[in-house]
Amino acid sequence: AQTVTQSQPEMSVQEAETVTLSCTYDTSESDYYLFWYKQPPSRQMILVIRQEAYKQQNATENRFSVNFQKAAKSFSLKISDSQLGDAAMYFCAYRSAEDNNNDMRFGAGTRLTVKP
Amino acid sequence: ETGVTQTPRHLVMGMTNKKSLKCEQHLGHNAMYWYKQSAKKPLELMFVYNFKEQTENNSVPSRFSPECPNSSHLFLHLHTLQPEDSALYLCASSERQSSYNSPLHFGNGTRLTVT
């Protein structure tokens, strides 16, 4: 089964600075989707960004971008110009595009603190 | 405003109680999910319903009983829980289970404490 690993339980960043959150995954598949979700204190998981494995171009959404390294099975999230509202838990997730059992698999999360 | 609504937001129950968690989605989705979120652990998928049919039960103890009367509503009936069942229970929906590029939309969760 596919596994998702987030090796940084906690990270902190100074307001307006840039931070990168790490995510690696284990799979033998070639077609899949990767996601980053944000969970603020309100507890609702919000989709931040997603990447299709067959696309080489890294996805970007405003201040959020990813560094997708398919060969290395790495999918890091870069947050530029960090804002206080970015403080949250961030979860990396994997979803197969090949398997009928394609339920989303999550990492354990990284807690991001933004310092004013 | 969330398209997935969960009630109650908080729940404290004793081990002999029976309670139910409710989830409702207003997104026109056909798949609904229950996840358990415990501290410092990945989200654990508990149940999946696709077009009102249960398609997955990931070895969840029978003290958790799901119900999906229609594509918009999902319940999790709880009885004879254990303290280790205390966690945040998240409901999610997606267009359909097989849409691998369709993200999950989550509710705010129910924080359950079993005493």
Query: In whole angstroms, what is the distance from residue A90 CA to residue A64 CA?
Result: 12
Confidence at residue B41, expressed as pLDDT on a 0 to 100 scale: 86
| pLDDT value of position B100 | 72
pLDDT (0 to 100) of residue A87: 97
Q: Where are the beta strands (DSSP E) in A1-116?
A: 3-5, 10-14, 19-21, 24-26, 32-39, 46-52, 60-61, 64-69, 74-79, 88-96, 105-106, 110-115
Dist CA B37 CA B23 (whole Å): 16
Coil, strand or helix at A56: coil
For the segment B24-75, what is each residue's pLDDT rounded down to a tens digit? 999 999 999 999 999 888 899 999 998 878 877 778 999 999 999 998 999 9
Report, as ranges of residue numbers, the positions in chain A whose pLDDT lies below 50. Answer: none
Residue B85 has a pLDDT of 95
Is A86 in CB contact (< 8 Å) with chain B?
Answer: no
pLDDT confidence of B2, banded at 50, 70, 90?
Answer: low
Q: How many CB atoms lie within 10 A of CB A102?
A: 19
Report the residue of A46, A103, A105, A110 to disrupt the B interface, i.e. the one with the largest count of B CBs within 10 Å: A103
CA distances from A101 to A97, A104, B15, B72 (A): 9, 9, 33, 22
Nearest-CB residue to B88 (from A9, A43, A105): A43
The predicted-structure confidence for B67-111, as pLDDT tens digits, reads as follows 999 989 999 999 999 999 999 999 999 987 777 778 899 999 999
For residues A44 and B106, is the Cβ–Cβ distance under 8 A?
A: yes
Residues sharing a CB contact under 8 Å with residue B61, sequence separation 6 or more, in sequence order: none
The predicted structure's pLDDT at residue B101: 76
Cβ-based neighbours of B80, under 8 Å, separated by 6 or more: B15, B16, B63
What is the structure's pLDDT at B113? 95
Of A44, A96, A103, the CB nearest to B108: A44
